[in-house]
Amino acid sequence: MMDNPIYTHFVGIDIAKAKFDVALWDNKAVQTYTNDVPGRARLLQWLNETVKATHCLIVVEATGGLEQAVISDLLLADYPVAKINPKRARDFARAVGQLAKTDKIDAQLLARFAQTIQPDVHPLKDAQQIELSAHLTRRRQLTQMLISEKNRLSSAVSSMRERIEKHIRWLDEELLSVEQEIDTFIDSNSEWKDNRQLLTQIPGIGPVTSMTLIAELPELGTLKPKQITALVGLAPFNRDSGAMKGRRTIWGGRAAVRRALYMAAVSAIRWNPVIRTFYQRLRTEGGKPFKVAITACMRKLLVIMNAMIRDNSDWDAKFVPQSA
Which H or E element spans position 193? Answer: helix 190-199
Strands laid side by side in the 9-15 sheet: 30-34, 19-24, 9-15, 56-61, 81-84
- Residues whose CB is less than 8 angstroms from the CB of residue 217 and which lie 6 or more positions away in sequence, other chains included: 228, 231, 232, 254, 257
The DSSP code for 312 is T
List of residues 6+ apart from 147 with CB closer than 8 A: none
87-120 tens-digit pLDDT: 899 999 999 998 888 999 999 999 999 999 998 8
**Terminal-to-terminal C-alpha distance of the chain:** 26
CA distance 56 to 114: 10
- What is the pLDDT at residue 36? 95
What does the angle CA 72 – CA 76 – CA 80 come to, to the nearest 5 degrees? 80
Q: 272, 201 in Cβ contact below 8 A?
A: no
Has this prediction a pTM greater than 0.95? no
Model confidence pLDDT, tens digit, residues 182-211: 999 899 999 999 999 999 999 999 999 999
- Which fold is adopted by the domain 9-117? Nucleotidyltransferase; domain 5 (3.30.420)
